[in-house]
Amino acid sequence: MKSGRVSHTALKVGFIILALNEKAEWKSRLPQNLAALTERLILAAGVFGYGRRIMSLNKKPWSVRLYEYAETKTPGTFKGIGERKIFMDEQVLAAIDAGAKQVLVLGAGFDTLCLRLAPQFPQVEFFEVDHPATSAAKAKGVAQEGQPENMTLLATDLNETPLSVLMQKTERWDISAQSVVIAEGLFIYLKEDVVLQVFREIAACTGPGTRAAFSHGVMIKKHRLANAMLRLIGEPWLSSCTSANLPGYIGPGWSVIATQGADAGRNLEAYAVVEQC
């Protein structure tokens, strides 16, 4: 993606959550406070085109119907985002229950998981990594909310700085601690060799029993029109794999614990949780 500007796809994910939250069945399913917090973070970022007026239009019934129509063309791009958020919350809670002492969210965008869970788990350290421009925009909202003591924001381009190098110089990060790493809506924007590299890097800076929960594209070539539009904003989809091919996509040293969402290859994305072995 283009460096120097706030990620449009991160803002779009936030807008999708706000629209999804207008549907009663989703309002009750999404993690508590997720939509309200997302709205405040995006407004605080102050990005042109994502202000209060557009946000209110985005929540109108006709706009929600447009999202639903778009989902018939590219399944998984509306309700799939809600399923993804629920999946990641569940995996982080399960990992903490299993002994994880650190939570690291890669390509965090305007995600609220760390802000929501850090106060609930003061014994766990929470970290977010994103491109400098997006991280700086997010930081405004985090400061406004009151940054939890156990939450750290890290600004870096993971294509330029290997994750293990970044984490080794992060004071509060313990490279030997059992951790859980989240990569939601990120790998689809990275080339396959970069995804392999990220998994090697996670293994190099975390302790035994570490898990990674992530979403990944599935057969992106089927969605040429949507990808052509993303190419125009400089954030094209670059890699995908089926759930069955995950071992090759993430590389050795990981065992797949659970997968969800592939829907026989119809959905744009599926989700998985893997553990170091």
Ligand X SMILES: C[S@@+](CC[C@H](N)C(=O)[O-])C[C@H]1O[C@@H](n2cnc3c(N)ncnc32)[C@H](O)[C@@H]1O
Query: What would you measure as the largest C-alpha separation in the chain, in angstroms?
Result: 50
The string of DSSP codes covering 237-260 is: ------GGGHHHHH-SSEEEEEEE
Based on CB atoms, which residue is closest to ligand X, 40 or 209?
Answer: 40
> What is the residue whose two structure tokens read 């985002």?
81
Closest approach, Cβ 251 to ligand X, in A, equals 18
Query: What is the three-class DSSP state of 85?
Result: helix
d(CA 127, CA 150): 8
Closest approach, Cβ 277 to ligand X, in A, equals 26
Q: Where are the alpha helices (DSSP H) in the chain?
A: 8-20, 24-27, 34-45, 52-58, 61-73, 79-97, 113-117, 132-145, 163-168, 192-204, 224-232, 246-250
Per-residue binding string, ligand X, 138-177, x by CB under 6 A, is -------------------xxx------------------
Based on CB atoms, which residue is closest to ligand X, 2 or 65?
Answer: 2
9 binds ligand X (CB under 6 A): yes
Closest approach, Cβ 139 to ligand X, in A, equals 13
Based on CB atoms, which residue is closest to ligand X, 157 or 208?
Answer: 157
13 binds ligand X (CB under 6 A): yes
185 binds ligand X (CB under 6 A): yes
Neighbours of 180 (CB within 10 A): 28
Based on CB atoms, which residue is closest to ligand X, 61 or 157?
Answer: 157
Per-residue binding string, ligand X, 91-130, x by CB under 6 A, is ----------------xxx-x-----------------xx
Residues 6+ apart with CB under 8 A from 7: 1, 109, 130, 131, 133, 134, 235
189 binds ligand X (CB under 6 A): yes
Among 186, 213, 220, 250, binds ligand X (CB under 6 A): 186
Closest approach, Cβ 88 to ligand X, in A, equals 8
**Residues 272, 198, 264: CA angle, nearest 5 degrees:** 30
Based on CB atoms, which residue is closest to ligand X, 93 or 208?
Answer: 93
Q: Which helix (H) or strand (E) holds 271?
A: strand 269-276
Whether 9 contacts 243, CB under 8 Å: no
Q: Which residues bind ligand X (CB under 6 A)?
A: 1, 7, 9-10, 13, 107-109, 111, 129-131, 134, 157-159, 184-186, 189
